[in-house]
Structure 1
C-alpha cells in the first residue's frame, strides 16, 4: 500500500475521537514489527525515525528511511513515515524527498522566543513542501544525554495559555506537551495529569502529542486519549521487548551464533507490543 501522510492519519483520529500510535524505528526488524503489529491489530500506525537513530546509522538518513518506507509500502496496513526529534536544520531539510510526510522539529531546549523563531522557520520550510510539522513545548525529559528530570517538577509541564500562543506564533500542525510522562522509561509507572490534558485540549487548536508513552500504564494511555491526546509516541517499549526476547533466547542457547535465530523472536515480541498499544487507541 502506498505511504499515507501523517497529517491524514492524525486528522482521521481526531475526527473519530481516537488516538493513533507512532513507533520508533531503529533497525529493519523494528520497521517489520511495526507493520506486522499494525496488520495484526487492523489499525493504522506511524513509523518514526529519530535524529538519534539517524546518528546510530552513521548520520546517514537515506538508507534507514528507504528501508522503513519499503516495509511500509509492502504492508496492507495504513502507515506513514515521520522524522522525530529533529534538532539539526540539515536533517530537517534532508527529510524532503525521503518519503517523510511529517517532521517533529525539536527546539524545546531553547529559550521560548528562540524556540518560537526556529520553529516558525521550520514550519514555513515544511509547509512549502507539504510537510506536516510537530513541535514540543514544555519539558518531556529522559532523552539520552540529558540530565534526569522529574516530570512533576514545577515549571516542567506545558502551560495551556502559553501553548495556545505558541501554536498561533509558529503555525505548527501538532504539539507535543509535557503532562507527566518521560522518555526512556522501562517501567510503566507514569501518572499523567488528565486535568491538564483536558485544559490543553480545550485551549490548543491543533492535535496533542504524548511523548514517552512507553512508561504509561494501559489505563492511563486510554484515559489520555479520551482526555484529548491524539498522537501517542512509543519507543522504549519496543526495545524492551526486543532485548528481552534476545536475552531469553541466548540464555537458553548460549552457543547460538546465527543472528536470525534470535532476531525472529525479537521481531515477534515487538510486533506483539505494537498490536497491544494499537488496541489502546
Structure 2
C-alpha cells in the first residue's frame, strides 16, 4: 500500500493509548525483515534511517530510502519512512522528496537554549515542507557528544546522572517554544544497549505525559525489558524506537550459522538466516508493545 505518514501513525497510537514500533534500518535485509515482521503481526510500522546509517552508506541517502519506499509500497500493512537523529541541516533538507514524512532533528547535544533555537529553525523549515518533526530533550545516553542542557561535548552523560533526565516543566516550555510534533524523553533508557537491564523512571514518565501536549517517544528501547516497555506504553509513550535489538538478532543468527557451516561462502545463505531472525524479533516486539498495560493518564487540554 502507499507510504503511510509517521505523524498519522503516532497520533493514532497516542489516541488509542498504544505505541507504534519504529525500527532502524541499515541494509535491504533490515527493510525486508521489518516489513515481514510487521505483516506477521498485522501492525503498522515505521522504517527509520539514521544519520549514522547514511554515513555508513557512503553519505548517500537515496539508495536505501528508495529501496525502503518501494518495499513499503508493496507491504500489506501501513509503513512510514522516518529520518532519524539528524544533526546535519543539509541532510534534513534531503528528507523532502525522498519519501520521508518525518524527521527526528537531534540538537540534544547542545545546551538548552541552543537546542531550542536550532530545533525551532528546523521545525519552521520542515513544517513548510509538510514534514512531521520529533526532537529530544535530556540525555538518553549511548552517543558521544550528548549532554543535554549542561554539556555540549565530551563523553556520553550517564542516563542516571544528575541533569540527564527530561524535566517536565522544561519539556513543556521546549515544546511550546519549538513547535515540535513529538518529543523523545530521557527516562533511563540508553542507546545501543546489548543487555536488557535499563530501569525506566515510570513516575517521571507519568509527569511528562501530563505536562507535554505532544506524543512522547522512547529511544534506546533495545535495553528495556519487555515489562518495562509495556509499562512505558501505558505511561504515555506513543512511539518506540528499536535498533540494536535487530542487529543483535541478525548478528547472532549469522554467527551461529557460520559456526555450523564453516564452508559457507554464499552470502544469501547466511543473510537469509539473519533476515529471518530480525523478522521474528520485529513481530515479537510489536506483540510486546500491543500487550495491554496500565492505562495512561490523559494529557491536559
**TM-score under structure 2 length normalisation:** 0.92
| Superposition deviation, residue 144 in structure 1 | 6.0
Name the structure 2 match of 1:132.
132
Q: Deviations over 1:172-210 (max 9, x none)?
A: 000000000000001111010000000000000000000
Name the structure 2 match of 1:213.
221
Name the structure 1 match of 2:99.
99
Q: How far apart, CA to CA, are the structure 1 residues paired with 2:233 and 2:198? A: 15
| Superposition deviation, residue 143 in structure 1 | 2.3
In the alignment, structure 2 segments of 5+ residues that lack a partner are 147-154, 290-301
| Superposition deviation, residue 148 in structure 1 | 4.4
Q: Tell me the SS of whatever aligns to 2:18.
A: coil
Q: Deviations over 1:34-82 (max 9, x none)?
A: 0000000011110000000000000010101001111111110111000
Q: How far apart, CA to CA, are the structure 2 residues paired with 1:115 and 1:208? A: 18
Name the structure 1 match of 2:113.
113
| Superposition deviation, residue 15 in structure 1 | 1.2
Say whether 1:195 aligns with 2:199: no
In the alignment, structure 1 segments of 5+ residues that lack a partner are none
Q: How does 1:210-249 map to 2 (within 5 A)?
A: 210-249=218-257
Name the structure 1 match of 2:12.
12
Say whether 1:279 aligns with 2:284: no
CA shift in 2, pair 1:15/1:215, >3 Å: same
**TM-score under structure 1 length normalisation:** 0.98
Name the structure 1 match of 2:21.
21
Say whether 1:88 aligns with 2:93: no
Name the structure 2 match of 1:265.
273
Q: Deviations over 1:201-260 (max 9, x none)?
A: 000000000000000000000000001111000000000000001100000011111000
Q: How far apart, CA to CA, are the structure 2 residues paired with 1:151 and 1:70? A: 37
Q: Tell me the SS of whatever aligns to 1:22.
A: strand
Q: How far apart, CA to CA, are the structure 2 residues paired with 1:239 and 1:80? A: 20
Q: How far apart, CA to CA, are the structure 2 residues paired with 1:252 and 1:158? A: 46
Q: Tell me the SS of whatever aligns to 2:238.
A: strand
Match of 1:174 among 182, 192, 199: 182
- Whether the aligned pair in 1 keeps the contact of 2:37 and 2:281 (CA below 8 Å) is yes
Name the structure 1 match of 2:159.
151
58-67 vs 138-147, greater mean Cα deviation: 138-147
Name the structure 1 match of 2:31.
31
Q: CA RMSD in A?
A: 1.0
- Whether the aligned pair in 1 keeps the contact of 2:144 and 2:156 (CA below 8 Å) is no
Say whether 1:252 aligns with 2:260: yes
Say whether 1:186 aligns with 2:202: no
